[in-house]
Amino acid sequence: MTEYVCSDCGQRHEPGVARWRCDCGAPLEFVNAPTGALPEIDRDRGIWAFEDLLAVNQHVTLGEGWTPLVDAPKRDVEYKLDWLFPTGSFKYRGAATTISHACELGVDRVVEDSSGNAGAAIATYAARAGLEAKIFVPADAKPGKLRAIERTGATVRTVEGDREAVTDACLDAVEAGDAWYASHAWNPAFFEGTSTLAYELAVQRDWSAPDAVVTPLGHGTLFLGAYRGFKRLATAGYIDEIPRLYGVQAAGAAPVVAQRHGEAAGAGANSLADGIQITAPAQEAAIHEAIEQSGGDALAVDADTTQAEYDRLHRHGLYTEPTCAVAPAAMDELRARGTVAPDDDVVVALTGSGLKT
């Protein structure tokens, strides 16, 4: 099993049940994540068709992967319908690799904090692997998301207060030695899973990367996974260039936008986008690096714009949750600014199902 390395100070650590970040407080990455050649792609293996490019080996699967890539002619982009696999959100990608990593480590019990989708994904894959799971959620989490967690047999702990209070309660359990932190924000194994979005897109587009990829941006789970995946593909010579990555935050919970464009650019309110109410992303430094290295940006979308796009998605047969409507909703501004040109090839990730909301 590959070691961890600190993303900030460079210290190396043996993977272990108690280790979830560096002693300096920064997030961990895998040392020497593979960047080698891919064998022939076997789609029957789902995301594990890319196992040779992942730092985690398969120990659990529900056949996840290969979500459709479809035209959205009215928007002149392609949509990656990434809510369509086992847990109704893109988080299944990271849950499959995180719980596989838990199996590699011999973990019995996992904990996670989440507004719902990541919790449901971790609980589902823990159930599949026969591990115990305890999931910390906000007291106002969507009932459909809570139910998806509870029905796996996982323990649900609801926490009053803001999203950070939920993380704090979960970390108390981690620090008490209660269980392994299967965090979508912190665990390097989670980002191995979300990197498969990039690999799938490259294959689905006949080994060409799009010019730009647009995703919702909270903790950056999908955003950073996509960046790491495209970077490995570029390093291995499968694509010429990393796409420009645009992360879309909820107005009022837009720390990355505020850092880049000033407080006013991220101000406002958008509680409709419940899945990305993150004011202190665990991997904020890495998010800025991904934006700079890819030539992308971050922007914020307000509630009215999100609601209009949400309705529009549904009227076009795309039954998503409100959170991910921020990504296509940002296209108008990206085009108005000229950062996305009329002839750019753009992929927009739609990341959560309407069935849970």
Q: Identify the three-state secondary structure at position 212.
A: strand
Q: What are the DSSP calls for 127-153, one per residue? A: HHHT-EEEEEEETT--HHHHHHHHTTT
User: Residue 134 forms beta bridges with which residues?
Assistant: 111, 155
Please say whether the beta carbons of 213 and 224 come within 8 A. no
- CB 7 → Zn ion: shortest distance, Å? 8
C-alpha span between 216 and 221 (Å, rounded): 9
User: Closest distance between Zn ion and the C-beta of residue 342, in Å?
Assistant: 44
The distance of closest approach from Cβ of residue 287 to Zn ion in the complex, given in angstroms and rounded to an integer, is 18
Kindly state the smallest distance separating residue 181's Cβ from Zn ion, in Å. Answer: 16
6 versus 282: smaller Cβ distance to Zn ion: 6
- Amino acid identity of residue 257, one-letter, is V
Residue closer to Zn ion, measured from CB, 26 or 258: 26
* Shorter beta-carbon distance to Zn ion: residue 10 or 161: 10
Q: Closest distance between Zn ion and the C-beta of residue 20, in Å?
A: 12
Q: Could you give the CA distance from residue 353 to residue 342 in angstroms, rounded to a whole number?
A: 29
Which residue number, 12 or 151, has a Cβ lying nearer to Zn ion? Answer: 12
The CA distance from 201 to 230, in Å, is: 10
**Residues found near Zn ion in the complex (CB under 5 A):** 6, 8-9, 11, 22, 24, 26
Considering the complex, state which of residue 8 and residue 284 has its C-beta at the smaller distance from Zn ion: 8
Residue 147's CB: how many other CB atoms inside 10 A? 13
Nearer to Zn ion, 9 or 341 (CB): 9
Smallest gap, in angstroms, from Cβ of residue 22 to Zn ion? Answer: 3
Going through the chain in order, the beta strands assigned E by DSSP cover 4-6, 12-13, 28-30, 69-72, 77-81, 109-113, 132-138, 155-159, 180-181, 212-216, 244-250, 297-301, 346-350
- Helix 143-150 and helix 117-129: axis angle, to 10°? 10
> Cα(294)–Cα(291) distance, rounded to whole angstroms?
5
| Comparison of 7 and 89: residue with beta carbon closer to Zn ion | 7
Rounded to 10 deg, the angle between the 91-105 and 221-235 helix axes is: 80
- Phi and psi for 216 in degrees, rounded to 5? -60, 155
Least distance (Å) from Zn ion to the CB of residue 243? 29
Give the list of residues 6+ apart from residue 147 with CB closer than 8 angstroms, or none: none
Shortest distance, position 220 Cβ to Zn ion, whole Å: 19
Rounded to whole angstroms, how far apart are CA atoms 263 and 52? 42
Q: Which of 28/301 has CB closer to Zn ion?
A: 28
Q: C-beta of 104: minimal distance to Zn ion in Å?
A: 22
Considering the complex, state which of residue 26 and residue 146 has its C-beta at the smaller distance from Zn ion.
26
